[in-house]
Amino acid sequence: MNTAAVEPTLPMQSENFPVALIPRISIGIFCDNQQTGQTLQAASVDRRMSRAHVSIQLGGIAAAIQVHQTEPTPNVLVVESHADRNSIMAELASLAEVCQPNTKVIVVGHVNDVILYRELIKNGVSEYLVAPISAVSFIETISSMYNDPKAAPLGRIVAFVGSKGGVGSSTIAHNVSWAVSQKLQLETIITDLDLSFGTAALNFNQDSGGGIFEALGQPDRVDATLIDRLMTKLGNKLSLLNGPGGIEREMNIEAHSVETVLNVVRHAAPLVVVDVPNLWAPWVKYTLLSADEIVITATPELPSLRNAKNLVDLLKASRPHDRMPRLVLNQVGVPKRPEIPAADFGKALGIQPTAIIPHDPQNFGLAQGNGQMVFEVAPKSKSAELLYNLSEVVAGTQKPVKAASRFGLPGLMKNLPMMKKK
């Protein structure tokens, strides 16, 4: 018997190539052991599976045959078997008698046999996965079955959010976007979701067009043509989908509107930077939970630490199969201000800072006043260097270097009873 290893037809997605959301389909899973069931149960509650209806039960192929003698098969039918090649083929022949023609079948087997794989594909099985499988690889398999392999890759959505107001999250997001587009030559779109007080237009010396307001207000009309019309070009590879920047108009934003807009925008550029406002609402929570990556900007103070910890705890619990959020400590080293050292700040959150930006009011103030980026007014400054390093990390062109804590001041953690281990 030729038992050469089955080469996977779907490679694991890189962190820089996100997995598309699973469409609104029904998925029926019939596992043959508890371990596979637990793995696929974890996959079923992943953010990328939120629109699918998933049912899981034990019993393998035999149970699937029994159930679907009286019930129609779902869009995707997943069956697991511990049997050998001949037995699996016999079981699937019986399953074919109750399986509807438009149902996609995935077989999870425990035989790593290329001949079996070829026979299954020849007989109409959509995919064969060798156990044990991971939740992410299963999601990628489903996603690949419903997305055109010839289509352009989805753009990554990176959400920037501040742990509190005034920490500089928007400024960091805008500078990173500029560096990624101008220095790294990666097409980037900034989406400013702060409709009333957003600063993207000011920071780039543009008029407040309010394009995002129009898109969110009529999600049924949103398509690539509309988004292209509403965006402002800031350079050859940088565009802005901006809020109105005023308080004259009120709007209740719905999560599904944000989902619709971002799903269209991410098809227009490899990187979409979302500037998330410092407020809490269902649509803000949705934006953070559905982003491919999250950057939390904080200042080394107790209120900022508390809020950042709340965010990190929520994201860890809700996104178990995603990268941990990145932490940027900003405005570090303000004269005469007691600060929490960077190492202690990171330890409390369980993540070390990706970047530590020093207090630099002269360069940041000059850039803001001129409607420019720090790279333009002070290209050789320490701030520009650190922001460029952060841009490489966000763009995926360089692995993050462990941040130094030289800007941290003597520890305050021992005086924070709420952070002590019980």
Over residues 64-75, the pLDDT tens digits come to: 999 999 999 999
Q: Tokens 């019980």 sit at which residue?
A: 422
313 occurs within a structural domain = yes
* Averaged pLDDT for residues 213-222: 83
Q: Chain-wide mean pLDDT for the chain?
A: 87
CB-CB neighbours of 306 under 10 Å: 16
Residue 165 shares a structural domain with residue 266: yes
CATH of residue 99: 3.40.50.2300
Residue 178 shares a structural domain with residue 66: no
Q: Please determine, for residue 185, whether its predicted confidence score (pLDDT) is greater than 80.
A: yes
Q: Please determine, for residue 8, whether its predicted confidence score (pLDDT) is greater than 50.
A: no
Q: What is the pLDDT of residues 384-394, one digit of tens each?
A: 999 999 999 99
217 occurs within a structural domain = yes
Are 328 and 354 in contact by the 8 Å Cβ rule? The answer is yes
7 occurs within a structural domain = no
3 occurs within a structural domain = no
Q: What is the pLDDT of residues 226-264, one digit of tens each?
A: 888 888 899 889 999 987 766 777 777 888 899 999 999
Global pTM?
0.82
Whole-angstrom CA distances from 278 to 122, 192, 194, 332, 372 are 54, 12, 8, 20, 23
Residue 126 shares a structural domain with residue 181: no
126 occurs within a structural domain = yes
197 occurs within a structural domain = yes
State which of 105, 124, 145 marks the end of a domain: 145
Residue 32 shares a structural domain with residue 90: yes
**What pLDDT is attached to residue 17?**
63
Cα gap 19→5, rounded to integer Å: 25
Number of separate domains in the chain: 2
Q: Please determine, for residue 1, whether its predicted confidence score (pLDDT) is greater than 50.
A: no
Confidence of residue 396 (pLDDT cuts 50, 70, 90): confident
Q: What is the dihedral of CA 172, 174, 178, 179, to 10 degrees?
A: 10
**What pLDDT is attached to residue 159?**
97
Within 8 A by CB and 6+ apart from 417, the residues are none
State which of 94, 111, 145 marks the end of a domain: 145
Q: What is the pLDDT of residues 263-292, one digit of tens each?
A: 999 989 999 999 999 999 999 999 999 999
Residue 339 shares a structural domain with residue 236: yes
**What pLDDT is attached to residue 3?**
37
Residue 121 shares a structural domain with residue 248: no
Residue 206 shares a structural domain with residue 87: no
Residue 272 shares a structural domain with residue 124: no
278 occurs within a structural domain = yes
Q: What is the pLDDT of residues 19-37, one digit of tens each?
A: 888 989 999 999 999 999 9
367 occurs within a structural domain = yes
Cα gap 289→246, rounded to integer Å: 27
CATH of residue 245: 3.40.50.300
Residue 161 shares a structural domain with residue 123: no
**What pLDDT is attached to residue 226?**
86
Residue 137 shares a structural domain with residue 197: no
Residue range of the domain that includes 90: 26-145
Residue 401 shares a structural domain with residue 276: yes
State which of 91, 117, 145 marks the end of a domain: 145
Q: What is the pLDDT of residues 100-143, one digit of tens each?
A: 999 999 999 998 889 999 999 999 999 999 999 999 999 999 99
Residue 167 shares a structural domain with residue 91: no
